[in-house]
């Protein structure tokens, strides 16, 4: 049986070298002796290294790590073209533990005969329900209401009144999986749902009770709540800024559980500071992690979560099962599901890499 080494990135571990994430579905490998699972431990935190968490979202896969792996499972690190500066003769697949793969250089992976697969659907409900949680909390002014109790300011009850959702307009940017799920969640609350999504079909949207609008500007002007669910790519990076916030109602709220880089953050902060919009709920940021003294942390009309709100135990298990199943396929010489650089599948180099492990199917 040809051995198949899969290395999970070191940010799955804590300072003691134990798993920081409770369940990453390693039990699926237990009856497959040809799979050798380990971690890229030089990426893991060390005792006393307080700067690790500032570097967390800038970690990168290195050539040495590529050379020692048949597969790599990516949590947070980048896969840049520089990762392939050495030999990529072994590395066959990269599994992205989540839906987004904007931190992986797909062209470089394809050029080096490496297939990249993701887990596109496992976080759909978790992401959409996180957006809806932020919408409801903003509507009810939950953060401010709690603050009244903590400060003993019950006298400010009348000045801290929220709104209800029935009849309000929810504008969804990006009617992909999580955008559609958010529309489904909003329907029983009596919201009017509109969406801007250039690749969506009007009849598919109508079946969800969603009206497509032709421009982002129209969505922004009409919505009481705007929620981002679009993908980060060259066309969406920094797509929303000051002029967009000025189109929104002063009573409107902005929610982002997609990617922070879609928004020009300094211009969002200004819009929140001067009352251009009423508030925001943010799980993602332009540069992560944000420091404790970041301007956003000083604002009372913002709810902040650490790019972790959709990461429930249920969603994490589903994600890691999906990734482990992809690893098992590759370890048996089979193409994993959900390959996001499909051009690699026809390359002789990739096919030769994968064929090395076909014998494991008979074990």
Cite the active site residues: 259, 288, 307
Give the burial class of 53: count Cβ atoms within 10 A of its Cβ; 0-12 exposed, 13-18 middle, 19 or more buried.
exposed
CB under 8 Å to 183, separation ≥6 — which residues? 170, 172, 175, 193, 195, 208, 209, 210
Q: How far apart are CA 210 and CA 280, in angstroms?
A: 23
Residue 282's DSSP bridge partners are 256, 304
* Token digits of residue 79: 């896969």
Instruction: State whether residue 311 is helix, strand or coil.
Output: coil
Contacts of 212 (CB under 8 A, 6+ apart): 175, 194, 195, 196, 197, 200, 202, 205
CA atoms of 271 and 84, how far apart (whole Å): 42
Alpha-carbon gap, residue 277 to 34, rounded angstroms: 56
R_g of the chain, CA atoms, integer Å: 22
Q: Kindly state the tokens that stand for 172.
A: 């969804």
């Amino acid at each position: 049986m040809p051995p198949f080494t899969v290395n999970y990135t070191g940010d799955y571990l804590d300072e003691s070298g134990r798993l920081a994430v409770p369940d990453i579905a390693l039990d699926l490998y237990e009856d497959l002796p040809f799979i050798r699972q380990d971690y890229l431990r030089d990426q893991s935190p060390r005792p006393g290294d307080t700067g690790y968490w500032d570097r967390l979202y800038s970690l990168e896969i290195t050539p040495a790590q590529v050379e020692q792996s048949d597969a790599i499972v990516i949590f947070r690190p980048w896969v840049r073209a520089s990762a392939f500066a050495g030999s990529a003769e072994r590395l066959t697949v990269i599994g992205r533990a989540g839906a987004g793969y904007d931190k992986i250089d797909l062209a470089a992976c394809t050029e080096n005969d490496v297939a990249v697969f993701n887990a596109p659907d496992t976080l759909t409900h978790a992401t959409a329900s996180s957006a809806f949680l932020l919408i409801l909390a903003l509507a009810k002014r939950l953060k401010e209401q709690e603050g009244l109790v903590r400060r003993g300011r019950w006298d400010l009850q009348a000045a801290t009144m929220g709104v209800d959702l029935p009849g309000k307009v929810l504008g969804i940017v990006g009617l992909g999986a999580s955008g559609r799920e958010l529309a489904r969640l909003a329907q029983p609350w009596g919201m009017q749902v509109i969406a801007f999504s250039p690749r969506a079909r009007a009849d598919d949207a109508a079946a969800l009770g969603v009206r497509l609008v032709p421009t982002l500007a129209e969505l922004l002007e009409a919505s009481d709540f705007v929620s981002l669910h679009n993908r980060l790519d060259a066309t969406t990076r920094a797509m929303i800024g000051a002029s967009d916030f000025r189109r929104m109602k002063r009573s409107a709220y902005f929610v982002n559980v997609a990617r922070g880089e879609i928004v020009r953050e300094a211009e969002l902060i200004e819009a929140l500071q001067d009352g251009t919009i009423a508030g925001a709920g943010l799980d993602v940021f332009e540069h992560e992690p944000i420091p404790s003294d970041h301007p956003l942390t000083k604002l009372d009309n913002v709810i902040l979560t650490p790019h972790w709100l959709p990461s429930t135990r249920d969603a994490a298990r589903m994600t890691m099962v999906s990734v482990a199943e992809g690893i098992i396929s590759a370890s048996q010489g089979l193409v994993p599901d959900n390959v996001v650089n499909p051009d690699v599948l026809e390359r002789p180099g990739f096919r030769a890499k994968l064929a090395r492990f076909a014998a494991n199917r008979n074990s």
